[in-house]
Structure 1
Amino acid sequence: MDTSFVKTDEVQRLLDRVVGAESDQGNPRLKAILRDLVESLMALIVCHDISEDEMWGAVSFLQAGAPEFGLLMPGVGLEHFLDLYMDAKDAEAGLTGGTPRTIEGPLYVEGAPLVENDADLSSDPDDTCTLYMTGRIIGPDNEPVENAIVHVWHANSKGFYSHFDPTSAQTPFNNRRRIKLGADGRYAFHSKMPNGYSVPPGGSADQLMIALGRHGNRPAHVHFFVEAPGYRHLTTQINFGDDPFAADDFAFGTREGLLPVPNRQGDSAYIAFDFRLQRAEDRHEQQISSRIRLEVA
């Protein structure tokens, strides 16, 4: 059977009933999106002759894997696809330049301490070298961006993030800060060097990667939000260019222009990196995207 079955009157009437097409109540945009989504899933079932057992197996996988949706989204490329789509829309609108955006990931925590420049991100001791990172926040005309706030977060040397550490060994907001900058747009911080990590062994993301013949590893990296009045909010991260998984990130977070190689000297490593922001056309572009994030009192 081919996918034309989905276009039969009986199936189309079912789709109309699913989204309440005959009712003037509800959200019209949601109705249109849900109708197309369900119809696409129906076509997928027919195209691949998906059995009842396979369908309910997928439902069981998603139900059991709900706590790891934040890993499954980047793992199947959907979070990276959103970046590609936003890039394409920017190019279509003639908006070019700026530091590349890339995935946020699921491990940001609201309410990190707001600190002055030249901050130490690490609250806990860690048997690794110290990372020193410096640079500028600049606008499209190389102007220094005034009064920016740089959100920084990364893992420790074991690949664990504070608030998500399975050993519960880290203090709150270890390797997490919001850095308040001045008029010159310069930033600086230091912290204990992060390491890469893999998805939780035996978890839903790991099971899916094994089924696909893939690994679940990420290279060492540092996450950033950059916000400033009058400029578009930037969500990005740097992956260390000398990490063995830099070119094979399971989460597809690696992007050209975001691969600095740390200058390693004994017990220290240095990265110089500038962030270039685009000007915002409205207040919405200055704001962080809406998603569920961990909040800590």
Structure 2
Amino acid sequence: MSVKVFDTKEVQDLLKAATNVASQDGNARAKQIVQRLLSDLFRAIDELDITPDEIWAGVHYFNKLGQDGEAALLAAGLGLEKYLDIRMDAEDREADIHGGTPRTIEGPLYVAGAPVRDGVSKIDVNPDAQAGPLVIRGTVTGPDGKPVEGALVECWHANSKGFYSHFDPTGAQSEFNLRGAVNTGADGKYEFRTLMPVGYGCPPQGATQQLLDTLARHGNRPAHVHFFVTSGQHRKLTTQINIEGDPLIWDDFAYATREDLIPHVVAKTGGAALGMKTDAYQEIEFNIELTPLVQGKDNQIVHRPRVSAAA
């Protein structure tokens, strides 16, 4: 179909009416965004000759996406969350903010309310025969290289089956298994005693994997560990590390891998004295450098719906 109608008065009047831009009522910013997105969609229908069948298949897909609760997962899988990081990196360069531990995506599986310990937290609540013991430790410093006292380091990751507590479809994990938080002392140090995670794949029957299949893409992530790090004197850091040696490190469907976020994994002994499941364990040293506030404010706080629970 070669007909183009986007630039006609009828369609332009329809856009104005649908977004109610002439009215002083309502949210002006919401109107601006909806008008732009709806305009881009109408224009794409014209330019790509998108058929009614394709439109209604898309509407049905969004219904399924909502029913599956996978909108945030799809945002990661289509690179939307990575794109936001790219923009924030560019904003930092423009503001002459350099250094610091690289940010990367939060993902959809954070749960607020994990127990907070001082300095050290053992977070493997449930036994996991397939996972070996792991210690993740490091020092939180500021841009001056000095340790940051009172930083809150939050950590969360999957078990050996690739499932996160609170989202585990098998129901096998206790609340806050493999999730924890520590306050750093004067030395800026933190430590999590846990189990080695593995990567995960999108639910095979879910809406995200359905679209990825259509695009001939896989929906798998390498083994990784998420972090939030907050301090009243520095900007919040949202990041994650990949587990060295995972074959999907540079083929992550969520595009979260960054060169400086693949710390070495070192074999250690002495785990029994640390309360680990075996004396032999693996250790990751992940030192974290925070960046300064911008004109006294933390411009890294992202407001988005998150799950919370009471420990």
TM-score, normalised by the number of residues in structure 2: 0.91
Identity rate of aligned residues, in percent? 47
Residue equivalent to 2:33: 33
Q: Distance in 1 between matches of 2:187 and 2:119?
A: 11
Letter in 2 for 1:64: K
Letter in 1 for 2:14: L
Which consecutive residues of structure 1, in runs of 5 or more, have no partner in the other structure? Answer: none
Letter in 2 for 1:71: L
Residue equivalent to 1:277: 290
SS at the partner of 1:271?
A: strand
Residue equivalent to 1:92: 94
Q: Distance in 2 between matches of 1:293 and 1:225?
A: 13
Residue equivalent to 1:172: 175
1:1-297 matches, cutoff 5 A = 5-66=5-66, 67-127=69-129, 128-265=131-268, 267-281=280-294, 285=298, 288-297=301-310
Q: Distance in 2 between matches of 1:107 and 1:282?
A: 31
Q: Distance in 2 between matches of 1:84 and 1:48?
A: 28
Structure 1 contact 228–286 (Cα < 8 Å) conserved = no
Query: How far did 1:115 drift?
Result: 1.2
Give the count of matched residue pairs. 297
Query: How far did 1:3 drift?
Result: 9.7
Which consecutive residues of structure 2, in runs of 5 or more, have no partner in the other structure? Answer: 270-279
Change (3 A) 1:2 1:170: same
Q: Distance in 2 between matches of 1:115 and 1:150?
A: 10
TM-score, normalised by the number of residues in structure 1: 0.95
Structure 1 contact 242–261 (Cα < 8 Å) conserved = no
SS at the partner of 2:283?
A: strand
CA deviations over 1:206-236 (Å, ceiling 9, x no partner) = 1111111111111100000000111001100
Structure 2 contact 202–208 (Cα < 8 Å) conserved = yes
